Copies of this chain bind each other. A is one copy, B any other.
Amino acid sequence: MNEINNYVETHKQRFLDELFELIRIPSISSQPEHKPDMYRAAELWKDILLKAGADKAEVYETEGNPVTYGEKIIDPNAPTVLVYAHMDVMPVDPIELWNTNPFEPVVKDGRIWARGADDDKGQGFMHAKAFEYLVHSGKLECNVKFLIEGEEEVGSPNLPAFCKKYKEMLQSDVILVSDTSMIASDTPSITTGLRGLAYWQVEVTGPNADLHSGLFGGAVANPINVLSKMIAQTMDENGKILIPGFYDDIIEVSQEERKLMAKAPFSLDKFKSEIGIAEEFGEAGYSTNERTGIRPTFDVCGIWGGYTGEGAKTVLPSKAYAKISTRLVPGQDHDKVGKMFVEYFNSIAPETVKVKVEYLHGGPSYVCPIDFAGYKAAEKAYTEVYGKQPIPVRSGGSIPIIATFEEILGTKSVLMGFGLSTDAIHSPNENYPLEQFYNGIKTIPLFYKYFVEEVKK
């Protein structure tokens, strides 16, 4: 531990400078105008890996954004760790709520403030520096591969094909990912489950043009009123989702496991006050942690239509739109649910409007058993750095590709996250505590050490 501590202490400013270079590239994967930035980010990641000690690194073309792959093979018979991270970030809207330029990182109050500071440039970059340390100190006892993709925030549409094509190259004994959070800076935890995802866009068309709401109002279905009603018909007042068959395939979590999960520290008052709500809302019969961890959701992520400017303009609009997502839990197939919702929304659409429901993308859920070698190695590494055994938790988020890795590559992932709930990922003023950044760089080499030990057992 002393050696890595000294290494981080010596190089901490350089680590930040290098990370900031990566953050400054506005690699927003959902906005086509940032396509050139995706290539800049991929090339920079190639340089990062080569400088850190990779034998080789390449930028690979896909049908969408590029992928950077790099590796260092010390012995074909040694265990292999595949590090997965993503170079793309979320959009920055609403930009006016940021206190600083999202693509000009600033250190303040012990945190890095920028889009991608945590998700996933900050967390991904820790792996490059941990790897650099291992190579530099001669302590690397396993093969290391890096897979850095550019479409995680849009559901990794092209990574499955990439994994199939380069299945051999990507073979490993464990996939190591830092793209999640831990309970608190003094309470380490490891995410053992991820929810799946399905995402749709809905377009409701009433009349073929915006109409005068006085001359036509009352005689023509208003697409916003209709869309609102359809959304309302998808969840009841107990938080139950009303899509037929939606819950059928869920693998229910046992009462025993629910008891274990309930041991994670949690204060409902703190939860409510931190996000400024008076009352929580969710599926009846489940706790807040269960609602986000082991139960599916139905959220409208965005809605728009008609007049949205200043003041009062009367109009009976032609169109209304919504972006809708659901988080899925083990057992639920995302494509099956994807179709289910399209069918349901079409079935409840009245004859008075035209409804177009597009299934944009989806991804499966994931579970990591706590007796897996990778889990045990991570547990030991955290315990050594944080002085506490990490708690296994089910996260409500989705990293669809994790389940896909298991499916295509046959490899389990370990989600060694260092983010905190205060990092505001996907929101204005995303940030990442320096302490977590440096602790991550210190924890990761221990994972390698214990993973080799576990595999050799």
Contacts and interface: CB of A to CB of B under 8 A. Distances in A.
Interface of A: 30-32, 90-91, 93, 97, 153-155, 181, 195, 197, 199, 201, 206-222, 224-225, 227-229, 231-233, 235, 239, 271, 275-283, 288-289, 291-292, 295-317, 320-323, 325, 327, 350-354, 360-361, 395-398, 421, 424-428
A302 B305 contact: yes
A275 B353 CA distance: 11
A199 B303 contact: no
B321 A308 contact: yes
A103 to B, nearest CB: 17
Contacts of A361: 312
Contacts of A279: 221, 350-352
Contact of A297 (B181, B217, B303, B322): B217
A303 B281 contact: no
Question: Which interface residue of A214, A313, A350, A428 has the most chain B CB atoms within 10 A?
Answer: A214
Given A212-B397, A307-B93, A313-B323, A299 B217 contact: yes
Most buried by B among A213, A233, A353, A360: A213
**Identical chains in the assembly:** 2
Contacts of A291: 218-219
Contacts of A220: 275, 277, 280-282
Nearest to A273: B208
A277 B206 contact: yes
Contacts of A93: 307, 309
A358 B299 CA distance: 26
B301 A215 contact: no
Q: By CB atoms of chain B within 10 A, which of A239, A302, A316 has the most?
A: A302
A301 B311 contact: no
* Chain A interface main SS type: loop
A323 B327 contact: no
A297 B218 contact: yes
A239 to B, nearest CB: 8
B306 A300 contact: yes
A33 B406 CA distance: 57
A212 B301 CA distance: 10
Nearest 8 CB-CB pairs, A to B?
A: A214-B397, A208-B276, A302-B306, A232-B232, A221-B281, A228-B231, A224-B300, A217-B297
A289 B235 CA distance: 35
19 contacts: A91-B309, A93-B307, A208-B275, A208-B276, A211-B275, A211-B427, A214-B396, A215-B395, A215-B397, A216-B396, A217-B292, A217-B299, A218-B296, A219-B280, A224-B322, A281-B350, A281-B352, A302-B307, A311-B360
